[in-house]
Structure 1
Amino acid sequence: MLAYNTYKVHQSNQKVFQHFKVNNQLFVFYNCPQKEKVMQLYNAYNQFLFSIGGKRIFSMGNQRWELTKDTAFLLKRTAYHQEMHEEVEGWKVLAFYVKDAYFKKILEEFRPLLPWDNLPPHTDDMLLYIDLNDQIKNCFLSMLPYFDDNRRYPQDIIEMKFKELLYNIFIHPDNKHILAYVNAISEGYQTPIWEVMETNYMFNLKLDAFAQITNRSLSAFKRDFRKHYNTSPGKWLIKKRLERAKIYLGTTNHSIQSIAFDSGFNNASHFSRVFQNQFNISPSTYRNSLG
């Protein structure tokens, strides 16, 4: 199963995902309708999220985050697993998709007022927690009335509230890592090809999805990929996914289907066929041969 593009999903159903755009930024409020225990998702844009109630678990590789009530974070362009919690089914969340040009516009407007001293170095962490105080939390909650379908609000008023939220996040002394990342984006920072691929190869993404996560056109993505890896994305992905699958076959008791899912293949049949073609042995026979 291919990973879902959250931006497209959140625009797909107004009744499930209440949403609107302000200055071309997408704002969404929803009770998560997730049915499967684990889903593969990916972000085409940077996204601010505020968890109002319930719980979800996000994971990328060996990293896991529990997103509970009154937690907020900035999720970069990335793929990830979203897992339902065993004891808590629901998850109510407020999300804001922010494009790079808007980050640049906001920082230029606020630049003289922001704390630029002692910014931390940029990290490759895909999820950045936002430290909350009462002011930031109240800014998030003050956005909820704008999702009332029965009333219309001028976009300038809503944008002013969103700017207030961003400003309060940026000036909080424990959110300098957020300001550092947004500033890097505003100055044209482009995530390296290797960083995206090494973090996301195990997700079942099409090449255009990888291109979106790297913030490149498909042609630019393919060009930069070959320049770095000296091979095509398709060949590299098969090699990396099979390497991961072989490790899991030899070190875990996970089912073939689970290993296929965790390694980025469409399904167990597709995985078995590719594995057989590459190594002249089936995954199950290979596992049994290891004793």
Structure 2
Amino acid sequence: MDSFYDFIQNNPSSIRLQVNELLLAEYQCPLSETRYDIWSHQNYYIYVISGQKKWFTRNREILVQKGDCLFIRKGAHSVIQYFDKDFCAVVLFVADEFIRSVLLENRIELTDTEDSIDRDSLFPIEPDKLLAAYFQSFLSYLSEKDKPGDKLLELKFKELVMVTASQNYNKNLTGYFCRLCKTGSPSLLELMEDNFYYPMTLEEYARLAGRSLSAFKSDFKETFGTTPGRWLKKKRLSYSQYLLKHTDKPVTEIVFDSGFQNTSHFSREFKTELGCTPLAYRKKTS
């Protein structure tokens, strides 16, 4: 899978500014695929200048168009793009710890709500004049020949966190921010449960979890009592069983929805684990 952060950072056509791992860019999508899967080890805001795209996970999908803003929690997700108009957006990457430090340093009071406990990854942000003006100011920075200093740029990132945290009508997002302040970044258990059905490599999972590969494997064994490879295979097979039993999706679609990369490998692993083919299992459990 492609890292969206790395793509933006290394794309020569992106106009970008960076302070440490805080990254701002004007993003114009060059991809030709209708659907693609991406992941990011950093959270990011995306503000649409033109065109439209759809971000989605297994729990939710959000269509964004000109003037819309979306906060995407770190992890993996899918995107559908439309080709009727060129897509252009401002993208800003911010780490959990940066968000947490800004909110605690400025003593921003947040209230967690029951609406926010579903651990969603997509948070639409209610557009208003203040937010629109904020992103327009960032666009002016990108277009200037003389770029702003690091201190000023960092202050602009902090301003965005405080502006969105202060919008009482974005309760799910403020709920997530509230939990960041209380507990810090999501646990390894939460990250894996939320992202197992994407075909990420162990190195990518380790980076998502903020660990070296060796530390990731060690912490994983301590948390789950098994290796990442064994856990992922069992989890994906279990999810494929659920989809076979409770949906009418074709097997070829279930393969990829479960995190497997090809049908033959999936069928072989499924039969080894359950003693029958996916189609036979569906027939038996329907």
TM class, shorter-length? 0.7 to 0.9
Identity %: 28
Matched, 1:136 2:131: yes
Matched, 1:19 2:12: no
Partners in 2 of 1:257 and 1:180 — Cα distance?
A: 37
Q: Deviation at 1:108?
A: 4.9
Counterpart of 1:233 in structure 2: which amino acid?
P
Q: Which blocks of at least 5 consecutive residues in structure 1 are unaligned?
A: none
Counterpart of 2:9 in structure 1: which amino acid?
Q
Q: Which residue matches 2:44?
A: 47
Cα-to-partner distance string for 1:149-173 (whole Å, 9 max, x where unaligned): 7443433343444443333323333
Instruction: Give the SS at the match of 1:61.
Output: coil
Query: TM-score when scaled to structure 1?
Result: 0.83
| 1:211/1:221 contact within 8 Å kept | yes
Q: Deviation at 1:138?
A: 0.8
Counterpart of 2:87 in structure 1: which amino acid?
W
Instruction: Give the SS at the match of 2:106.
Output: helix
Counterpart of 1:271 in structure 2: which amino acid?
F
What is the root-mean-square deviation of aligned Cα atoms in Å? 2.9
| 1:61/1:199 contact within 8 Å kept | no
Q: Which residue matches 1:155?
A: 150
Partners in 1 of 2:235 and 2:95 — Cα distance?
A: 31
Q: Deviation at 1:117?
A: 6.1
Q: Deviation at 1:104?
A: 4.3
Q: Which blocks of at least 5 consecutive residues in structure 2 are unaligned?
A: none
Task: Describe how 1:45-194 pairs up with structure 2 within 5 A.
Answer: 45-85=42-82, 88=84, 90-111=86-107, 114=108, 116=109, 118-120=111-113, 123=117, 124-148=119-143, 150-175=145-170, 177-182=172-177, 184-186=179-181, 189-194=184-189
Partners in 1 of 2:64 and 2:177 — Cα distance?
A: 22
Cα-to-partner distance string for 1:126-164 (whole Å, 9 max, x where unaligned): 122222220111101211122237443433343444443
Q: Which residue matches 1:248?
A: 243
Partners in 2 of 1:12 and 1:176 — Cα distance?
A: 34
Shift of the 244–90 alpha-carbon distance from structure 1 to 2, 3 Å rule, reads farther
Counterpart of 2:11 in structure 1: which amino acid?
N
Shift of the 233–150 alpha-carbon distance from structure 1 to 2, 3 Å rule, reads same
Partners in 2 of 1:249 and 1:197 — Cα distance?
A: 22
